Amino acid sequence: MSATIESVDAILVDIPTIRPHQLSMTTMGVQTMVIVRIKDSDGREGLGEATTIGGLAYGPESPEGIKLTIDHYFKPQLLGQPADALNTLRVALNRSSRGNNLAKSAIETALLDLFGKRLNQPLAALLGGALHTHLPVLWTLASGDTQRDIDEAKQLIAERRHCDFKLKIGSRALMDDVRHVAAIKAALGDQASVRVDVNQAWDEATAARGMAELQAAGIDLVEQPTPLKDFSALARLSAKFHIPILADESLADATDMYNLAAAGFSGAVALKIAKAGGPLRVLEQAAVARAAGIGLYGGTMLEGTIGTAASLHAWSTLETLHWGTEMFGPLLMKDDIVVQPLKFHDNGVELPTGPGLGIEIDEDKLARYQRK
Ligand code: MUC
Ligand code: MG
């Protein structure tokens, strides 16, 4: 007999960032995680995380809204149900509530963690087994200051913590951004791959000019240059330039991936468990991307260790991650709420071992940072 779900808790956790993190739509000084704890009738616990960026600045789900969705809509549906019937529970939640993929991702992650603990297997084993146990991780330079970004990158290269960098641009005038990016690329040279994320800030004409400048400056990848719903702009720009485009906000799930590929887009996709609705769902999207010849990248919503570990388990099962990953979220925060932090070294991170996610909550730290 399968264990049943006995409790579902969604907890808001606020942790300051190590420095301001400047995106085109907001500057973060604190990261808010929604930590989900699901307990079953055998006394086991599964952990999940739903995290967004800058309240409602980045996407339509806020941390407070995610907690409300889980407490008031998902929890009554989940209590008393068999804990390992993941597909049944997903279908039920999808029938009763549209969208809310970040909240659904946290639930799917917690149920997978619980199932892995029940079977005494890591989450990746439930997904068919890991192909990689150490995954490459880039770092985002987003202090807002060119020299500070260069110093930060040089130190991280020297420590072999990261060798690939993404720069957040789009909040300044185009040529100011181009000068900022070109100065960083010139300072780092060939020892680093430098990419940019515009977070939708440009219209198509600005993007065309920007991409030409960035291509000339030696930038390797341009992430989400134009607004998320304009699939045809992404398709046209991807046909016009050699510098590839990474689609991020435009894509949540497998259907979006299919539609963007059908619109003629070529390039790469930022996979994120949060956007897709969980580790199982994101792998469906990866399969569509692969079929369409679109490159894969393990993306983040700047989650803490729980969401990052869940993503790593999913990415570890993908044969090729053409653009690596950006699973550095825990490193952007001043502190952590887990007993054993992830191990970052050699320009990447180790896939955690141990049943489920392989992550344990530090109850004192959680109590310290939990929103009262
Ligand atoms: C995004 O749009 O990519 C991921 C890394 C980072 O610095 O910001 C996020 C969001
Ligand atoms: Mg992005």
Q: What is the pLDDT of residue 2?
A: 80
- Rounded to the nearest angstrom, the distance between the alpha carbon of 39 and the centre of ligand 1 is 31
Q: What is the pLDDT of residues 296-336, one digit of tens each?
A: 999 999 999 999 999 999 999 999 999 999 999 999 999 99
Amino acid identity, position 372? K
Whole-Å CA distances, 284 to 75, 145, 206, 307, 309: 25, 39, 33, 18, 19
34: which strand partners? 12, 50
What would the mean pLDDT of 239-261 be, rounded to a whole number? 97
Whole-Å CA distances, 242 to 168, 224, 266: 21, 16, 11
Whether the predicted pLDDT of 1 surpasses 70: no
For residue 21, give the ligand 1 atom closest to its CA: 7
- Rounded to the nearest angstrom, the distance between the alpha carbon of 301 and the centre of ligand 1 is 6
SS3 for the chain is CCCEEEEEEEEEEEEEEEEEEECCCCEEEEEEEEEEEEEECCCCEEEEEEECCCCCCCCCCCHHHHHHHHHHHHHHHHCCCECCCHHHHHHHHHHHCCCCHHHHHHHHHHHHHHHHHHHCCEHHHHCCCCCCCEEEECEEECCCCHHHHHHHHHHHHHCCCCCEEEEECCCCCHHHHHHHHHHHHHHHHHHCEEEEECCCCCCHHHHHHHHHHHHHCCCCCEECCCCCCCHHHHHHHHHHCCCCEEECCCCCCHHHHHHHHHCCCCCEEEECHHHHCCHHHHHHHHHHHHHCCCEEEECCCCCCHHHHHHHHHHHCCCCCCCCCECCCHHHHECCCCECCCCCEECCEEECCCCCECCCCECHHHHHHHECC
What would the mean pLDDT of 33-41 be, rounded to a whole number? 98
Q: Is the CB of 250 under 6 A from ligand 1?
A: no
Share of the chain above pLDDT 70, in %: 100
CA 304 to the chain's CA centroid: 10
- Rounded to the nearest angstrom, the distance between the alpha carbon of 173 and the centre of ligand 1 is 20
What would the mean pLDDT of 200-224 be, rounded to a whole number? 98
CATH topology of domain 5-121+362-369: Enolase-like; domain 1 (3.30.390)
Q: What is the pLDDT of residues 250-260, one digit of tens each?
A: 999 999 999 99
Cα(15)–Cα(38) distance, integer angstroms: 22
Q: Is 363 a catalytic residue?
A: no
Q: HSE, CB side, 13 Å, CA atoms: give it for residue 353.
A: 3
- Rounded to the nearest angstrom, the distance between the alpha carbon of 146 and the centre of ligand 1 is 18
Average per-residue pLDDT for the chain: 97
70: which strand partners? none
Residue 309 CB partners (closer than 8 Å, separation 6+): 123, 342, 352, 357, 358, 359
Q: Are strands 164-168 and 193-197 parallel, antiparallel or unpaired?
A: parallel
Q: Is the CB of 51 under 6 A from ligand 1?
A: no
Q: Is 168 a catalytic residue?
A: yes
Q: Is the CB of 226 under 6 A from ligand 1?
A: no
Q: Is the CB of 326 under 6 A from ligand 1?
A: yes
- Rounded to the nearest angstrom, the distance between the alpha carbon of 58 and the centre of ligand 2 is 10
* Ligand 1 atom 9: residue of nearest CA: 301
* Ligand 1 atom 1: residue of nearest CA: 301
C-beta separation of 88 from 244 below 8 A: no
Report whether CATH 3.20.20.80 matches the domain 126-350: no
Q: Is the CB of 197 under 6 A from ligand 1?
A: yes
165: which strand partners? 139, 194
Whole-Å CA distances, 347 to 143, 161, 192, 343: 20, 5, 11, 11
Q: Is the CB of 61 under 6 A from ligand 1?
A: no
What would the mean pLDDT of 256-267 be, rounded to a whole number? 98
Whether the predicted pLDDT of 353 surpasses 90: yes
Q: How many CB atoms lie within 10 A of CB 353?
A: 10
- Rounded to the nearest angstrom, the distance between the alpha carbon of 61 and the centre of ligand 1 is 16
Q: What is the pLDDT of residues 68-117, one digit of tens each?
A: 999 999 999 999 999 999 999 999 999 999 999 999 999 999 999 999 99
* Ligand 1 atom 4: residue of nearest CA: 300
Whether the predicted pLDDT of 144 surpasses 90: no
Q: Is the CB of 247 under 6 A from ligand 1?
A: no
Reference 323, options 251, 226, 245, 254; nearest CA is: 245
Reference 223, options 180, 263, 190, 271; nearest CA is: 271
Mutate to test the pocket of ligand 1, among 152, 164, 166, 197 (most ligand atoms within 8 A of CB): 197
Q: What is the pLDDT of residues 111-132, one digit of tens each?
A: 999 999 999 999 999 999 999 9
39, 75, 166, 168: the catalytic one is: 168
Cα(334)–Cα(18) distance, integer angstroms: 5
Residue spans of the domains in the chain: they are 5-121+362-369, 126-350
Whether the predicted pLDDT of 210 surpasses 90: yes
